[in-house]
Amino acid sequence: MTAADKEEGKRVIEEMKQGDVSSMQTLQRSDAAYDVAKKLGLFDTLEDLFEQDMEGELPNDKGYFSTTQEIITNIFKGNREVHDRYTCACPVRTKEYILSSPTAWDNMMDATLFQAKLMTKADSIWDVELGAWRHSAARDVFATINLALLHEKVAKALFFKSKATGKRSQEEAREYACPQRYGA
């Protein structure tokens, strides 16, 4: 990991904490920057952003249409070197996020379903352009989530997250207690 990766990861997470996800593609492109952001609270920040997006608390003058769309199609995209949005989803990142907190999956699912609900609002009907943007955002979000759900490890994480988190905690405790044995 280079100093530049650290700087990039730090900058992106700081912007995200201010509600700005315009640099999110950095975390798609660079696993190193993603790792830095993760250590600096990426997953908690994602949960906050999903909530703020649903509450309409994020600024309107951002350079993208939907925060949830930006997050899900960038952070959880698979084959990150391929430049289209629908190639596949990253099971490792998705699983990591789901296991990061007891509410992580619920928040992501809520934010995803919220994209579909937005389309039933009256302004999606009379404002054709807004309706089209919302349609595109919902389609992108569902495409990524549905691709993530092809993976058993993602499904296991979301259905058995309390058990998985418990198991992981036990493993972490053992590593902490016997660092020489576990190579920590």
Partner 1 sequence: MHALNVMAPKLKAFFDNGGEGFASSHVDRNETIQNNVHQFTALLSYWYRTLNVDDENPNAFIDAMQLDDEQEFKYETIARPLAEGSIQYGRTLTMEEFTLARARATAEYQRRKGSAKKKSVKKKGSKKKK
Residues of the shown chain interacting with partner 1 in the complex, contacts defined by CB under 8 A:
86, 88, 106, 109-110, 112-113, 115-117, 119-120, 124-125, 131, 134-135, 138-139, 142-143, 145-147, 149-152, 155-156, 159-160
CA diameter of the chain? 65
Minimum CB separation from partner 1 for residue 66, in Å? Answer: 13
Minimum CB separation from partner 1 for residue 145, in Å? Answer: 7
Minimum CB separation from partner 1 for residue 109, in Å? Answer: 7
The residue among 40 and 113 lying less far from partner 1, judged by its C-beta, is: 113
Cβ contacts of 147 within 8 Å, gap of 6 or more: 78, 86, 88, 89
Calpha distance 22→20 (Å, rounded): 6
Minimum CB separation from partner 1 for residue 27, in Å? Answer: 24
Q: Tell me the CA distances in angstroms from 46 to 12, 30, 115, 127, 173, one per residue in order.
A: 12, 18, 16, 29, 26
The residue among 14 and 110 lying less far from partner 1, judged by its C-beta, is: 110
The residue among 39 and 168 lying less far from partner 1, judged by its C-beta, is: 168
Minimum CB separation from partner 1 for residue 16, in Å? Answer: 26
Between CA 48 and CA 53, with CA 50 as vertex, the angle to 5 degrees is 105
The residue among 61 and 129 lying less far from partner 1, judged by its C-beta, is: 129
The residue among 40 and 149 lying less far from partner 1, judged by its C-beta, is: 149
Calpha distance 157→184 (Å, rounded): 24
Q: Tell me the CA distances in angstroms from 98 to 43, 93, 156, 165, one per residue in order.
A: 9, 9, 10, 10
